[in-house]
Amino acid sequence: MENLLQTPLQVIVAKYPAVLAVLEKHHISYCHFSKKNIEEISVLHNLPSLKLAYDIQQIVNQEKWNKETLNNQSFTELINYIIQHYHLYLKTQLPIVLAQLEKVTQKHGNQLPILSDVLFYFEMWKDEITAHLIYEESKLFPAILTIEQTHQMPENISKDYINKLIHLIEKEHDHSTDLIEKIKSITQNFTPPPQSCKGIQLCFNMLGDLYNNLEEHTQIENNILMPKALQQLNLIYQSEKKN
């Protein structure tokens, strides 16, 4: 518990994005307090530090357990997990990182041209991943949940439709990965240039956190969610074919 009290909020959220829900519950702005630790935040919000740490620790423990049991979860549980732990994190972090990147590029871009390149590719990646999240939540996830709830192929959803959706999502994952890998390459594995100011160091650290979160997010969708959906789709299709 002591280590948790002294850990900066941005470090905790990068590893356990669902902690954002605890912050909302306590009306704590992640944008304003991401650099502070639990103890400091508790003092500023007049909250018992052990209570806040306990609530966060509960989420951390639950998330550790979830990662060990993802393969056995229902589609509803798995999709809720993805939204709460990865989509919510991206939606929260992307505008924060963009604002920080714009700030340091405006201030230091002439001395460090690398910042303009990073900003260029980040804006491209942000727009693409934002559209991707919307597409998943409005198309792919509802289709999978409909199949889970009905245990049959709905009249308005064909096997080809699901296959095309999954193929498109996988292609978008590949392209999104290519873009953030480009940023990783430009920044030499998100390593701040020598004698960088704290603003640049923070920016590169946040980019590294985004990279790690996206990598885990993509692996869960590519290796668990979508293969599981295709397997269920084939079982239903074969069953209906026999009938």
pLDDT value at residue 68: 62
Q: Which residue has the higher pLDDT, 86 or 223?
A: 86
Q: Nearest-CA neighbor of 237 among 140, 150, 152, 154?
A: 152
Model-wide pTM > 0.95: no
For 1-72, the fitting CATH number among 1.10.3910, 3.30.930, 2.40.160, 1.10.3470 is: 1.10.3910
Mean pLDDT of 198-223: 87
Residue 26 confidence (pLDDT): 83
pLDDT at 2 over 70: no
30-72 tens-digit pLDDT: 767 778 888 888 888 888 877 888 888 877 776 665 656 777 8
CA distance 75 to 221: 11
CA-based R_g, the chain, Å:
20
According to the model, what pLDDT value does residue 1 have? 40
Instruction: Report H helices in the chain.
Output: 2-6, 9-15, 19-25, 30-33, 38-44, 49-69, 75-82, 88-108, 114-135, 141-150, 159-186, 198-220, 226-242
* Domain extent listing, the chain: 1-72, 74-242
pLDDT tens column, 227-240: 888 888 777 767 66
| 118-171 pLDDT per residue, tens | 999 999 999 999 999 999 999 889 988 888 887 666 666 677 778 888 888 989
